[in-house]
Amino acid sequence: MARIEGVDLPRNKRIEIALMYIYGIGLVTSQKLLKIAQVNPDTRAKDLTDQEITNLRAAINETTQVEGDLRRIESLAVKRLTDIGCYRGRRHRLGLPLRGQRTRTNARTRRGSKRTVAGKKKAPRK
């Protein structure tokens, strides 16, 4: 089993797709890394040789920031926005959409689901 940057890659997927399980690597970055490491993108993750895994690790370390480092950088960027109190920072703090989307309707992903009780009847007055 190939383990790169602390992530166990799925064994039966093509290495081009399996690299996308690492935080910070998408399809295009995966293809570039495979070209740098001179690995065939159609190879299954379980069929990689030790030399190919070493080449992939070296290519990832040289070219991209992934996993913990990338998460730390992103959280610091959000923290900076909230500390200076800019518009985007306030939206982060309130848990609302940042990029101009409407909030009267929609925005359920960012705001959370609407908690209503359907069909609840009021108690009859005596």
Q: pTM for the whole thing?
A: 0.75
Average pLDDT over residues 93-111: 89
Superfamily of domain 70-111: Ribosomal protein S13/S18, C-terminal domain (4.10.910.10)
The reply to whether domains 3-63 and 70-111 share a CATH topology is no
Report pLDDT digits (tens) over 17-58: 999 999 999 999 999 999 999 999 999 999 999 999 999 999
Phi and psi of 9, rounded to 5°? -80, 140
In CATH, the number for domain 3-63 is: 1.10.8.50
Give the C-alpha separation, 62 to 33, whole Å: 10
Taking the domains of the chain in order of start, what are their residue ranges? 3-63, 70-111
Report pLDDT digits (tens) over 69-90: 999 999 999 999 999 999 999 9
**Three-class HEC string of the chain:** CCEECCEECCCCCEHHHHHHHCCCCCHHHHHHHHHHHCCCCCCEHHHCCHHHHHHHHHHHHHHCCCHHHHHHHHHHHHHHHHHHCCHHHHHHHHCCCCCCCCCCCCCHHHHCCCCCCCCCCCCCCC
